[in-house]
Structure 1
Amino acid sequence: MRYRGRPPLVSGKRIKKIDVRFTEEEFDLILAMEKASGMKKADLIRKKVLSEGERMVIDSKLMMNNLDVIGLELSRAGNNINQLARYANILNQDGLLSGVLVDRLLLELRKYNKIKMNLERLMRKLIRLLGS
């Protein structure tokens, strides 16, 4: 004899549970999101973690190491530019600075600035992605 009620699920039954604690502020934010979306808390958290969370999963230690390497390379490049500028000033004082050398230095400086601007744009994009 079949009992009344919901028929048993064949697949997709949720049997695993995670217990999570929140601060008052975090919980208030979840309540506000629940009210705004019209979804239950569990469904809202499932959606945020499982659907939108895929793009958030990063190895933060690896990312920080890579950012350190990038920062170090930028520092080295800036130091090299300062040395070239100092050398160009010395050559200019001695009257040995040629137009060809100036053109070459300016070309390299423009390439460096283009790379640096692109890197800054990518860093802003990364920060926006990590913030969302």
Structure 2
Amino acid sequence: MGNSYPSKDRLSAPKIRRFELRLSEPELQQFLQLEKSLGISRADIVRIRVLKNSANMLVNAKELMKQLDGIGAKLGRSGNNINQLARHANILHNQGLLSQSVATEFNSLLGHYITVQRELEKIIRQIIRQMKS
């Protein structure tokens, strides 16, 4: 993932030029809300957007954290469902009622779930590192 924010050297360089931006009242309110939700200054928002190519996006950290929290909750529920299925499969196995094909399919699906969960964890760590820089 590429860094969407200016380097720390560029942010700390002396600011000797002034840039004026005229906005309507609704645009100003939207800009102030963006500043508040992102937790960075208006000047930095403009610098990032203008100097780092308009294709790069600013991240709404609050919304991102809300979405990640939702994903975490879904993963937790999935894990609980897997545990319940495993307990039920174990009971069937102990009673001699569990077919080999069902056990094989369950193991395959569980392996896939674990692979997806690990990949998601890697991506989340990358996002967190990106947000810190």
Q: Corresponding residue for 2:91?
A: 90
Task: Tell me the TM-score normalized by structure 2.
Answer: 0.60
Task: Tell me the TM-score normalized by structure 1.
Answer: 0.60
Aligned equivalents of 1:64, 1:129: Cα separation in 2: 13
Which secondary structure does the structure 1 equivalent of 2:15 belong to? helix
Aligned equivalents of 2:83, 2:13: Cα separation in 1: 59
Aligned equivalents of 2:63, 2:13: Cα separation in 1: 35
Using the TM superposition, give the Cα deviation of residue 117 of structure 1 relative to its aligned residue in structure 2, in angstroms.
Answer: 1.2
Deviation readout 1:42-94 (Å, 9 max, x if unpaired) = 27x97xx4335975721122112211210111011100110011001101111
Q: Which has the higher contact order (CA 8 A, sep 6+)?
A: 2
Q: Corresponding residue for 2:14?
A: 41
> Mind listing any 5+ residue stretches in structure 2 that lack a counterpart?
1-7, 17-42
Aligned equivalents of 1:105, 1:88: Cα separation in 2: 9
Q: Quickly say closer, same or farther: Cα 1:128–1:71, change in 2 above 3 A.
A: same
How much identity, in percent, do the aligned residues show?
Answer: 36
**What is the correspondence of 1:5-84 to structure 2 with a 5 Å cutoff?**
40-42=13-15, 49-50=47-48, 51=51, 57-84=58-85
Q: Quickly say closer, same or farther: Cα 1:42–1:66, change in 2 above 3 A.
A: same
Superposition RMSD in Å: 2.9
Using the TM superposition, give the Cα deviation of residue 118 of structure 1 relative to its aligned residue in structure 2, in angstroms.
Answer: 1.1
Q: Corresponding residue for 1:21?
A: none
Q: Quickly say closer, same or farther: Cα 1:60–1:94, change in 2 above 3 A.
A: same
Count of residue pairs the alignment pairs up: 95
4+ residue runs of structure 1 moved beyond 4 angstroms? 52-56
Residue identity in the other structure for 1:61: K
**Contact 1:88/1:97 (CA < 8 Å) preserved in 2?**
yes
- Specify the structure having the higher radius of gyration (Cα): 1
Residue identity in the other structure for 1:77: S
